[in-house]
Amino acid sequence: MPRLALTELTLSHFRSHKSARMVLDGRPVAIYGPNGAGKTNILEAISLLSPGRGLRRAAADEIARKPEALGWKVSGVLQSLRQMHEVETWAESGSSRTVRIDEKAAAQVALGRIARVLWLVPSMDRLWIEGAEGRRRFLDRLTLSFEPGHAEASLTYEKAMRERNRLLKDQQRDAVWYGALEAQMAKAGAVIQQNRIAALNRIAAAQDGAETAFPTATLALLGPDSTEIPSEESELLSAFAAGRGQDLYAGRTLVGPHRADLEAVYAAKGVPAKQCSTGEQKALLISLILANARALAEDFGAPPLLLLDEVAAHLDAGRRAALYDEICALGAQAWMTGTGAELFDSLGERAQYFEVVEDGGISQIIERPTE
């Protein structure tokens, strides 16, 4: 059966880990230990085997272990469908991040072609009640999992928008300058919006008829004040041109994909996610991650790597067991953290277990026998 799984993971001078190596057999991975021991650092390292800045959105020079500050490196052996790949990413002190796949230099976007990585971390628990920026970032990570080229469109759009905003702040009124930048923004922006809509449709399809213990979320992509952001290039181009007067007054671009927001409703209750309890909000997030994983299993050919940090928070024993059952049924290599081994009791022999302890400021990873 095609799989997506790490069979080896090696960390060098990565945050609290000076040197560590894990050998995996493809089963879910349960990582436990006290707070501050370095559990989340392992998940962050794996997240950097995908395009972008990882689950903490850290700059390359923030990751290196202190006080040495020698740079850092993450490497792994990845089974991707029926092929094996050696994947490495690192940053030397003062340098940007580098990627190598099968001993050849590669762009970050190439990581998205051989692997799909999804994550759920405690900071996302407030996703539905905080600002739109976090939900937009969540949406774009979800979209990127289906379409690795989404990152390129986003970079093109943001670069052109920064130039347009500079003109706006300087009160420039040259229509030719604006027209050239707006054409770039409209072309890239249409791709962004269409990718997002396609991703939400895939999530909706994956939720329909799924046997799950977690609540279904109805999702909608909206603009400011619940307006609709155009998804066609010509419509975006017209919107940018029409908005120049207001944008000059504001000193920034007020319409476009960068203003999108993701709205979620607890479908069974008809209640907006932002009005749900903490436990319900967590359950909705887990439901979306699982739906994303199910859709990717169909589209990519194997379920993604799942990084679930402190996943037991706000889940009772019954729902934890249900989550583990769904992960195992899906066939995903899920990397899960928690403070104690007892949080993973219902996994039994279906998982590998690792304890992380801290000794003199250095994290140690110890494989424990299956209980």
Residues annotated as binding site for ATP?
33-40
**C-alpha count within 13 angstroms, C-beta hemisphere, residue 220:** 14
- Asked whether the CA dihedral 300, 204, 47, 307 is positive or negative, the reply is negative
CA angle 31, 33, 35 (to 5 degrees): 115
In terms of DSSP bridges, do strands 71-81 and 104-106 run parallel, antiparallel, or are they unpaired?
A: unpaired
Distance from C-alpha of 4 to C-alpha of 84, rounded to nearest angstrom: 10
Binding residues: 33-40
Distance from C-alpha of 365 to C-alpha of 362, rounded to nearest angstrom: 10
Torsion of CA 231, 236, 237, 238, to 10 degrees: 120
Distance from C-alpha of 108 to C-alpha of 344, rounded to nearest angstrom: 34
Tell me the three state secondary structure of residue 194. helix
What the block records as the tokens of 326 is: 């769904």
Cβ–Cβ under 8 Å, residues 181 and 164: yes
Tokens 């994909």 sit on residue: 257
* DSSP codes, 64-103: BPTTT--EEEEEEEEEEETEEEEEEEEEETTS--EEEETT
